[in-house]
Structure 1
Amino acid sequence: MKMKQFESSYSFIKIVFTLSSFLIVTVLGIFVCLSEIQLQSLMTLGRSTFFSSFSYQNFKSTSRSLDEKSSSPQPDFRLLIGILTLPDQYPRRNLLRQVYGIQTPTKAQIDVKFVFCNLTKDDHLVLVALEIMRYNDIIILNCTENMNSGKTYTYFSSLPDILDSSDGEAYPYDYVMKADDDIYFRLDKLVESLRPMPREDMYYGFVIPCDEMNPYGHYMAGMGYIVSWDLVEWIRTSDFARNHTKGTEDKLLGEWFAAGHRAKNRYNTKPAMYDYPVNVEGDKCSHELTPDTIAIHRLKNQDKWIKTLRYFNVTSQLKPSKLYHIP
C-alpha cells in the first residue's frame, strides 16, 4: 500500500515537473522569438534611419554646393601670367611662387605659369617633372630654348590649343601676359589698373622708348606686357607673325600688331611700372620705389628683391606663433 502510494506521488511529481519544464521552455521560446523580432525591427529601423539621414545630408550638401557655385560671383576678368624663364632657374621660380602665392587680389582670377621650351637635360627631366607634380604651374612649349628666336611667338600661338576647353567655354582668359622672371607685379594694383580696360584689341605695358608716354606708334617693353585674348587668337592665325619671329621679341610684337592693324586699345603703365632704380646718368626707365607701383623690373639679384619686398612690407601679415620668432 505504501509502495503504491509512493509510486503515485512520484508519478504526480514527474508529471508536474515535465509540465513545468515544458511551460518554461515554451515561455522562453516565445520570449526569444519576440526579442529577435523586436531586435530585427529595431535594426531595420536603425538602418532605415541611418541611410535616410545619410542620403538627406548628402543631398543637402550637394544642393548647397550647387547653390554656392551658381551664386558665387564671377571674376571681373581672368588673366594668365606666363613667366618666360629657363629650366635651370629653380631658386627664382620658388621665390616667385612665394611672392605671388601670398597675394590675394579680389574680383579677378589670376593664374601664374612658368614657360619653357623643350627640356634637353637629364636632370631637368626629373626635377621639372617633380615641380609639375607638386605645383602644376609649368608650360613646356614645343621649341628650342631661346630669347629672340621665336619663343614668344610659340608661347602666344600655342595657348589656344594648350588651353582648349571641352566644357564649351568660349575662351579661358580675358588677358594674357608675357613676363620676364626678374619683374615683380603687385597684383592688387595690377587688377585695379586692368579693371576698366577693354576686353578686346587691348595692348598694355611699359611703352618703349623709356622717355615716351604715347603708347601708339611704338611697342611695349618685354619686361611684362598684356594682350587681350582675341589678339592671342589673331597671333595664332597671322601669317605675318608666323613668318617674322626672329629679332627682339617685344619689338616684333609691336610690328605684328602694326602690320595687322591690331591693338587699337593701348595703355601705358608709366610711371607705375618701371625698372629698379640704378645710379646711371640719363636712365629714363627707372625711378625710386613708390607706393602706387604696379611692377618693378630688373630685380636681377636677391639684394634687390629683398629691398623691394621690404619697401612694400610684404611680410606684414605674418601671424604670430610659438613656432618661430621673427622680430
Structure 2
Amino acid sequence: MVAKSSKPNRGRFILFCFIVIFFLSVLASINEFRFEGALSNESLVTNSSEEDLRILIAVLTLPDQYLRRHFLRLVYGTQTLIEGAKVVVKFVFCNLTKEEQKVLVALEIMRYNDIIILNCAENMNKGKTSTFFSSLPEMFNETNGPYPPYHYVMKADDDTYVRLNSLVKSLKPLAREDLYYGFVIPCGSMDPFKHYMSGMGFVVSWDIVEWIHGSDIPKKHVVGPEDKVFGDWMRWAKRGKNRYNAKWSMYNYPDPPSVCSHELWNDTIAVHLLKNEKKWIRTLTFFNHTDSLKPSKLYHIS
C-alpha cells in the first residue's frame, strides 16, 4: 500500500516544483524590470541635479586660526540652503610650518575635510590669491563629475559673515560665464566696470578660474593688495564682461562708521570686518541666526 501511494505523491511533487520554478522566474523578470527602471530614474535625478547652482566659498585664513575655523563651521553649517543649490565652504591657507600645525590641521581634515593647503609660503599680498585660483582646476575638474564642478567661486575673508541663501538668490539669475561680482571699490562708486571688487568676498565664474590657471597675466603680476591685483587681471585681459555690484547688500560692519559701512539691514548678503566676538554676536542676533533651534528636554535657552 505504501509503494502504490508514493507514485502519485512523486508526480504532485514534480508538478509543484515546476510551478514554483515558473513563479520564481516570473518574479525575477519583474524585479529585473523594476531594477532597470530604478537605475533609469537615478540617472535622471543625477542629470537634473547638474542643473542646480553649485558655489564654492573659499575662506582665506591662516593655519593657526583653529578657533576661528571652528566658529565659522558653526556659522555656515547651521544655515539651511534653499532647494536647488549646493554651497561648499573650504578654508584655505599655505604650507604648514610648525609641528603642532601638522597634527592639529591633520585632525581637522580627518574630521571635517574642509581644508585646502596651497603650495606656497603664507602671505597676504604676494601671490596667495593667485596660487589659490590657479590651483582650483587641477583640484576639482574630474572626468566623472559634473562640469563645471562649481558654477561660481567666492573668495571670502574670515571676518566676513556670508548669508548663504541671500548669496544663492542673488547669483541665480546672473550669467554663469565671464562673471565678476562683489562690492565695488572705491566705496563711493556704484560702477562695477571701474577699479575692482573688495576682498571681503568677491565671486567669479568657473571659466575665469580656468583662465587664471592658464594665463600668463596673473603669473606676472602677483605682488600688491590681492583684491586690487585681481581687478588688474580682469582689466588687462578684458575679462569679467558680466559684472554685478552687490553693494549695498554687502558692506562693512557699522562700527566704526565709514563710507563702506551702514547699519545692519535685512537685505544683506555679507557683512565684513567682524573683528571680535561682540560684533559677531550682534550680527548673528540681528539676523535671527539661531531661531531654528529645536526645543528639547535637554536644554533651555530663553
Q: Which residue of 2 aligns with 1:88?
A: 64
Q: Which residue of 2 aligns with 1:304?
A: 279
Q: Are 1:103 and 2:103 counterparts?
A: no
Q: Which residue of 2 aligns with 1:4?
A: none
Q: Which residue of 1 aligns with 2:109?
A: 132
Residue 137 of structure 1: CA displacement?
Answer: 1.1
- Distance between the aligned counterparts of 1:228 and 1:315, measured in 2? 31
SS of residue paired to 1:82: strand
Note the residue ranges of structure 2 that are not aligned, 5 or more in a row. Answer: none
The count of residues paired between Structure 1 and Structure 2 equals 300
- Distance between the aligned counterparts of 1:296 and 1:151, measured in 2? 23
Q: Are 1:264 and 2:241 counterparts?
A: yes
Letter in 2 for 1:293: T
SS of residue paired to 1:162: helix
> Cα 1:270–1:323, aligned 2, differ >3 Å: closer, same or farther?
same
Letter in 2 for 1:116: F
1:78-107: CA deviations, max 9, x gaps? 211111011111111122112211331332
1:288 to 244, 258, 263: 263
Letter in 2 for 1:79: I
Residue 237 of structure 1: CA displacement?
Answer: 2.0
- Distance between the aligned counterparts of 1:55 and 1:106, measured in 2? 33
Residue 61 of structure 1: CA displacement?
Answer: 5.5
Does the 8 Å contact 1:174/1:199 carry over to 2? yes
- Distance between the aligned counterparts of 2:44 and 2:225, measured in 1? 50
Alignment of 1:154-173 (within 5 A): 154-167=131-144, 169-173=146-150
- Distance between the aligned counterparts of 1:170 and 1:55, measured in 2? 32
Letter in 2 for 1:308: T
Return the index of the structure with the highest Cα Rg.
Answer: 1
2:294 to 313, 319, 322: 319
> Cα 1:241–1:309, aligned 2, differ >3 Å: closer, same or farther?
same
Q: Are 1:235 and 2:186 counterparts?
A: no
Residue 66 of structure 1: CA displacement?
Answer: 4.0
- Distance between the aligned counterparts of 2:97 and 2:293, measured in 1? 40
Letter in 2 for 1:124: Q
Q: Which residue of 1 aligns with 2:169?
A: 192
Note the residue ranges of structure 1 that are not aligned, 5 or more in a row. Answer: 1-22
**TM-score, normalized by length of structure 2?**
0.86
Greater CA deviation, 267-276 or 55-64?
55-64
Letter in 1 for 2:247: K
Letter in 2 for 1:96: L
RMSD of aligned alpha carbons: 3.0
**TM-score, normalized by length of structure 1?**
0.80
Q: Are 1:79 and 2:38 counterparts?
A: no
- State percent identity of aligned pairs: 55
1:143 to 115, 120, 131: 120
1:261-290: CA deviations, max 9, x gaps? 11122111111110111134xx10111000
Q: Which residue of 1 aligns with 2:198?
A: 221
Does the 8 Å contact 2:192/2:243 carry over to 1? yes
1:13-62: CA deviations, max 9, x gaps? xxxxxxxxxx99x99xx7xx98xx89xx6xx97xx69x959878866765
- Distance between the aligned counterparts of 1:60 and 1:252, measured in 2? 53
Task: List, as ranges, runs of 4+ consecutive aligned residues in structure 1 with deviation greater than 3 Å.
Answer: 51-73
> Cα 1:114–1:271, aligned 2, differ >3 Å: closer, same or farther?
same
1:287-321: CA deviations, max 9, x gaps? 10001011000111111111101101011111111
> Cα 1:287–1:122, aligned 2, differ >3 Å: closer, same or farther?
same
> Cα 1:300–1:61, aligned 2, differ >3 Å: closer, same or farther?
same
SS of residue paired to 1:197: coil
